[in-house]
Amino acid sequence: MYRYLSSIGFRNYKSKKSYSKLLDSAILEPTQKMISNFGEDILKVELIKEVGERIGFLIRGELDEFDETIIDLVIPYFKGKYILDTNEVDIEKINEKDEYYVSCEENYSGMPLSFYLQNVTEYLSVENKKDIFIEGISLSGYSEEANVLLPIEKDEIEEVLEEEEEKFRIELMKAARNGDEEAIDLLALEEEEIAYIIEERLKNEDVLSIVEGYFMPYGLKGDEYSVLATIKEVKEVKNGITGEDVFLLSLKCLGLSFEVCINKEHLTGYPEQGRRFKGIIWLQGNVIFTR
């Protein structure tokens, strides 16, 4: 119930008892509060309590006959700043606690994604409306342990060539989505060539000196990933309740831009722009609805 809350600065909160006063204060004075029955007899409540810049925790539950909040779950809250394009999203309920997974493909990178839905109350309020469109998604990751690695050494020419290759690949992906068979074949050929080059280099080199980044599903839950990504921006914020320092890391991996939140004490190495983040993340996200 309280997993990954250490990533937003609650490192020493390890039991239900230690969270009791914290949750009581959040219920009395939430930063945001949403209540609705969504056509049911039970009143559902969602509370957000911010504890620092863009970070906090979210409480989801029900109101009983005495208007007391019965807590179903408590999760970390971190508001991602990147709005990413996607053509379609599939939202699926995973249990009776109003928890949902979102599956989609991010347009720019072509990355298939599965993440835990953050804005459940908003989704339920628009679920059956016909005049609602999806503007995009925003992602936020949480990590309990990670390392900072040095970047792969590249000269100026290699960096320019890499940028041009990425632009060309994005155009190919756009064409492939529109049914261009030549683009589809070129992308398949590129994947085969990359796999062959990596296989050959691995005979004599370490994988982390060859592969700049990866974004791979981890475990069985569907919303956790093993990530190696380039750090683009670093911001350090403080949890106003515990005083613990938290890193908000802007990352880029295989064309996908997202952010990860991690407790400073849980990150080995000092994060700087250009270095790499390596760790396991839990991926949440907002689906951005518009009329």
Per-residue pLDDT of 202-253, as tens digits, reads 566 666 666 788 899 998 888 999 999 999 999 999 999 999 999 999 999 9
What pLDDT is recorded for position 6?
94
Task: Give pLDDT tens digits for 103-122.
Answer: 999 988 888 999 999 998 88
Higher pLDDT, 180 or 126: 126
Distance CA 28, CA 69 (A): 10
The type of residue at 277 is F
**Is pLDDT of 193 > 90?**
no
Any residues with CB less than 8 A from the CB of 212 and at least 6 apart, and which?
Answer: 151, 152, 228, 230, 276
Token pair of 125, please?
């309020």
The mean pLDDT of the chain is 85
Percent of the chain with pLDDT over 90: 47
Distance CA 62, CA 71 (A): 7
Q: What is the mean pLDDT of residues 254-265?
A: 95
**Is pLDDT of 69 > 90?**
no
Higher pLDDT, 238 or 201: 238
Res. 272 pLDDT band, cuts 50 70 90: very high
**Is pLDDT of 91 > 60?**
yes
Q: What is the mean pLDDT of residues 56-85?
A: 88
**Is pLDDT of 175 > 80?**
no
33, β-bridge pairs: 47
Task: Give pLDDT tens digits for 13-61.
Answer: 877 777 888 888 899 999 998 887 766 677 888 899 999 999 999 998 8
Distance CA 36, CA 46 (A): 9
Res. 196 pLDDT band, cuts 50 70 90: low
